[in-house]
Amino acid sequence: MRQLALSDEILLHIDKPARYIGNEVNMVKKDPKAAAIRFALCFPDVYEIGMSHLGIQILYDMFNQRDDVCCERVYSPWSDLHQIMKEQQIPLFTLENQSPVKDMDFLGITIQYEMCYTNILQILDLSQIPLMAGERTWEHPLVIGGGPCTYNPEPLAEFFDLFYIGEGETRYDELFDLYTAAREKDCSREEFLRQACRIPGIYVPSLYEVAYQEDGTIASFQPKYDDVPATVKKEIEMELSHAAYPRRPLVPFLKATQDRVVLEIQRGCIRGCRFCQAGMIYRPTRERSLEMLKECAGEMLGNTGHEEISLSSLSSSDYSSLPELLNYLIEHKEKGVNISLPSLRIDAFSLEAMKKVQDIRKSSLTFAPEAGSQRLRNVINKGLTEEAILNGAGLAFEGGWQKVKLYFMLGLPTETEEDRKEIPRLADKIARRYYEIPKDRRNGKCQITISASFFVPKPFTPFQWASMYPKEEYLKRARTVNEEMKEQLNRKSLKFNWHEADVTVLEGVFARGDRRVGQVLLKAYQKGCLFDAWTEAFDNQKWMEAFEECGISIDFYNLRQRTAEEILPWDFIDCGVSRAFLLKEWERAQKGEVTLNCRQQCNGCGAASFEGGVCVEHQN
């Protein structure tokens, strides 16, 4: 098997060469010749980002536990190395064995966010794999996508052979066994794909056809053959306490975004925020047992040398054994291990826990009201009152904190100018709460940072039918907030920043786009678009040129509100949450009606059909 390596001369002329050399602590290096299946796991962003992704770590560990699988990794080369590899025709290679990606049996790409889509084309291009799935043969790897963006895979449909929709712990063994048998029987690539599509959770885009109405909406989406499933149901691991979890996770050479032990305590969320895709697609809520988490924490700290451990969850405060888990972790704190507690509600219990594990003078607290007014928080079903926000801030200030980060969204459905002005007003009320504390008990001035992103409707949320706005409107809304800031009593304690509107517009197209927008991706990549999630690399002008040259309208995808009857590009996927429930929530949102969380009542979302989890326990 041909092996590759970057020369010392190349390594000396690129940024952060440690991204490309492998040999990290806990890396698994197998003999590729002894494996029946070679799998390249890819995160289409730089090494530091990809190494922070828990899903990659789980699959890497799980795949390599099979004797017949050799699983290796590959990440997006930064622009400097990209140019060298193109000029010198160096094929992209894996970190473990420096083997060409094009020699693998599978190339598995995790798709976490829309602005990495051109990086996916970069991976294929540098690997010297045909970009279009229809042009590949058995001489090329099977390209399979996974991750949250596969809940609308259509913009990428032409570039992938398969998509795995759902959680990876359940069906890969079945897929690998099918592949091994197909190769032994000398099946054609088409025959294999035809069989693979019948594995639950596997979507093969080439086996489906789409027709469009004159107005551009979808007229029909259906399988080409009778034995191809019309619906693809997501895969879900119900028994997380017994599922694969890496006890010896990879330790990066460079400082990664999440350079610590990550302990996933649960999946799913009971809250039901109407803008949140993760809260819908990962239903029902499932917890890992306290015993498993204690065991994992000790082993992972011992096997990595990390000095920090972080709890991973959409809403850590809702984990039923959180007090017991924190008491256990605090014992590690006494041994010099830092503890990170994200996704906690700011209540008395959480603040007391954070005081035990954080340096209050250095740390800041994060609140995510998402909307400034109570009316709009009801629309999005945030379940957070102004009283609760101010009370939580007051508890924090009295506990010694002085720095607060506030996260909001602009451009939410039904949003008014008054809703926007309430954002700095709420921040000012929080600052006032700080200055109510006697001066001798304060740590100087408080610092309140307001961060606003622009709302993007996502598939499988109640807001999937909502319209967006043009770039200029987003900027106008941000300016409204900025002007209102100047009117606040404590404006010197407030700071405001906002997300790029150009990126929001593109994200909106690819979040809800159909197969036709794939040609824009290809055109943009050919123009040099790459690392679009990075401000220094993003080039909006090239993207606008690509849309114009392809004759694709941004307004068609972003500026119109979908009707309840419209066929959406992702309607063939069953994510567990029913369309009827999402429509009901969309209607309730427009009336400003709040829906109680799953622990308070079962709202009949449909996720109980997967059995187990919070939904079944609380069914009427």
Pairing of β 403-410 and β 447-454: parallel
Region 577-584: mean pLDDT is 97
Does any domain span residue 546? Answer: no
The region of weakest confidence among 255-264, 283-292, 308-317, 445-454 is: 255-264
Does any domain span residue 102? Answer: yes
* Radius of gyration in angstroms for the set of CA atoms belonging to the chain, rounded to a whole number: 25
The region of weakest confidence among 205-219, 290-304, 388-402 is: 388-402
The model's pLDDT over 498-556, given as tens digits with 9 standing for 90+, comes to: 999 999 999 999 999 999 999 999 999 999 999 999 999 999 999 999 999 999 999 99
Structural domain range at position 272: 260-355+576-620
List b or e across 105-126, with b for residues whose CB sees 16 or more CB atoms inside 10 angstroms. bbbbbbbbbbbbbbbbbbbbbb
Q: What is the pLDDT of residue 618?
A: 54
Does any domain span residue 179? Answer: yes
Residues 334 and 191 grouped into a single domain: no
Region 246-263: mean pLDDT is 89
pLDDT band with cut points at 50, 70 and 90 for residue 620: very low
- Which CATH number is 19's domain given? 3.40.50.280
Q: What is the pLDDT of residue 1?
A: 46
Higher pLDDT, 340 or 286: 286
Distance of alpha carbon 518 from the chain centroid = 20
Residues 114 and 217 grouped into a single domain: yes
Does any domain span residue 190? Answer: yes
Residues 156 and 297 grouped into a single domain: no
Does any domain span residue 31? Answer: yes
Residues 221 and 268 grouped into a single domain: no
Residues 266 and 228 grouped into a single domain: no
Residues 221 and 291 grouped into a single domain: no
- Percent of the chain predicted with pLDDT > 90: 85
- Percent of the chain predicted with pLDDT > 70: 98
Q: 570, 150 in Cβ contact below 8 A?
A: no
Q: 404, 396 in Cβ contact below 8 A?
A: yes
Residues 226 and 337 grouped into a single domain: no
Does any domain span residue 184? Answer: yes
Give the chain's mean pLDDT. 94
The model's pLDDT over 439-493, given as tens digits with 9 standing for 90+, comes to: 999 888 999 999 999 999 999 999 999 999 999 999 999 999 999 999 999 999 9
The model's pLDDT over 345-393, given as tens digits with 9 standing for 90+, comes to: 887 778 887 777 777 666 788 889 999 999 999 999 998 999 999 999 9
Does any domain span residue 126? Answer: yes
Residues 101 and 198 grouped into a single domain: yes
Residues 43 and 114 grouped into a single domain: yes
The number of distinct structural domains making up the chain is 2
Region 567-582: mean pLDDT is 97
Residues 291 and 158 grouped into a single domain: no
Q: Where are the beta strands (DSSP E) in 455-567?
A: 494-498
Residues 64 and 194 grouped into a single domain: yes
Tally Cβ neighbours within 10 Å of residue 246: 22
Give the separation between CA 102 and CA 104, rounded to whole angstroms. Answer: 6
Q: What is the pLDDT of residue 362?
A: 63
**Cβ neighbours for 309, distance < 8 A, ≥ 6 positions apart:** 260, 261, 262, 263, 297, 300, 301, 329, 332, 337, 338, 339, 340
- Which CATH number is 606's domain given? 3.30.750.210
Does any domain span residue 603? Answer: yes
Residues 182 and 290 grouped into a single domain: no
